[in-house]
Amino acid sequence: MLQLKQIQEVLLCGVILLIFSASAQAMTAREIMEKVDGRDDGDNLTANVEMVLIDKKNNRRVRKMKILNKDKGKDTWKLQFFVSPADVKDTGFLTYDYYEGGRDDDQWLYLPDLRKTKRIASSDKSGAFMGSDFSYADMTKRVLDEWTYKILKESEVKGHKVWLIEALPVSKEVEDRYGFSKSVIFIRQDIFMGVRAVHWLKEGKKIKYQEMLGFEQIDGIWVSTESRMKTTKNKVTLHKTVMKWSDIKYNQAIDDEMFTVRRLEKGI
Amino acid sequence: MKQQLLKNICIFSFILFLFHFAAPLSAQDLDDILSSGFDTELSEPAAKDTSNDIDELLSGFDDVSDERQEKDATASSTLPEWLEVTGSLGLAGSYNFTHDAPKEDDVDFRGISMLRTTASLSSEIHWGDWQAKISGHGFYDAAYAIQGREQYTNTLLDLYEQELELDDFYLQGSLSSKLDIKIGRQVVVWGKSDNVRVTDILNPLDNRLPGMVDIKNRRLPVAMTKLDYYIGDWNLSGIMIHEVRFDKNPVYNSDFYPGQQPLPPEQKPDHSLANQQYALALNGIFSGWDLSLYGAWIFDGRAHITTDVNDSLYRKHSRVFMTGMTANLAFGNWLLKGEGAWFDGLEFANLEDEDFSRLDLMGGIEYLGFSETALSLEIVNRHLVDFDEQLTLSPDIAQENTIQTVAKLIRDFANDTIQLKILLSLFGAHGEDGMFERVQLDYDLNDAVTLTGGIIFYQSGNQGALSAIEDNDRIFFEFSYDF
Of B88, B235, B288, the CB nearest to A106: B288
What is the value of ipTM here, to two decimals? Answer: 0.85
Average pLDDT over residues A57-72: 94
Is A182 at the interface with chain B, CB within 8 A?
yes
Confidence of residue B191 (pLDDT cuts 50, 70, 90): very high
Report CB contact under 8 Å: A7, B21. Answer: no
Confidence of residue B464 (pLDDT cuts 50, 70, 90): confident
Fold of B2-42+79-482: Porin (2.40.160)
For residues B258 and B408, give the distance between their C-alpha atoms in angstroms, rounded to a whole number: 26
Let me know: does B391 contact A146? Beta carbons within 8 Å.
Answer: no
Q: What percent of chain B has pLDDT over 90?
A: 74
Report CB contact under 8 Å: A182, B37. Answer: yes
Q: Distance (Å) from the C-alpha of residue B289 to the closest C-alpha of chain A? A: 9
pLDDT at site A3: 55
Terminal Cα-to-Cα distance of chain A (whole angstroms) = 79
The answer to whether residue A15 is domain-embedded is no
- Average pLDDT of chain B is 87
Residue A102 lies in domain:
30-266
**Domain definitions of chain B by residue range:** 2-42+79-482
The answer to whether residue A182 is domain-embedded is yes
How does pLDDT run across A121-165, given as a tens digit for each residue? 988 888 899 899 999 888 888 899 999 999 999 999 999 999 999
Helices (H), chain A: 2-25, 29-38, 172-178, 261-266
Let me know: does A204 contact A197? Beta carbons within 8 Å.
Answer: no
Report CB contact under 8 Å: B172, A50. Answer: no
Of A18, A132, A240, the CB nearest to B13: A18
The answer to whether residue A88 is domain-embedded is yes
Average pLDDT over residues B161-178: 96
Region of poorest pLDDT, from A136-145, B151-160, B312-321: A136-145
pTM, rounded to two decimals = 0.84
Q: Provide, as residue numbers in chain B, all residues whose Cβ is less than 8 Å from the Cβ of A109.
A: none
Is the bond into A85 cis (omega within 30 degrees of 0)?
Answer: yes
Q: Provide, as residue numbers in chain B, all residues whose Cβ is less than 8 Å from the Cβ of A62.
A: 72-74, 447
Confidence of residue B58 (pLDDT cuts 50, 70, 90): low
Task: Give the best-scoring range by mean pLDDT among A24-28, A126-130, A210-214, B36-40.
Answer: A210-214
For residues B252 and B262, give the distance between their C-alpha atoms in angstroms, rounded to a whole number: 5
The answer to whether residue A6 is domain-embedded is no
Q: Distance (Å) from the C-alpha of residue B107 to the closest C-alpha of chain A? A: 35
Residue in B189, B182, B285, B181 with CA at minimum distance from that of residue B234: B285
Please say if the pLDDT value at position B6 is more than 50.
no
CATH number at residue A57: 2.50.20.10
pLDDT at site A17: 46
b/e burial code for range B183-216 (CB count within 10 A of at least 16 → b)? bbbbbbbbbbbbbbbbbbbbbbbeebbbbbebbe
Strand partners, B459: B435
Domain count for chain A? 1
Is the bond into B258 cis (omega within 30 degrees of 0)?
Answer: no
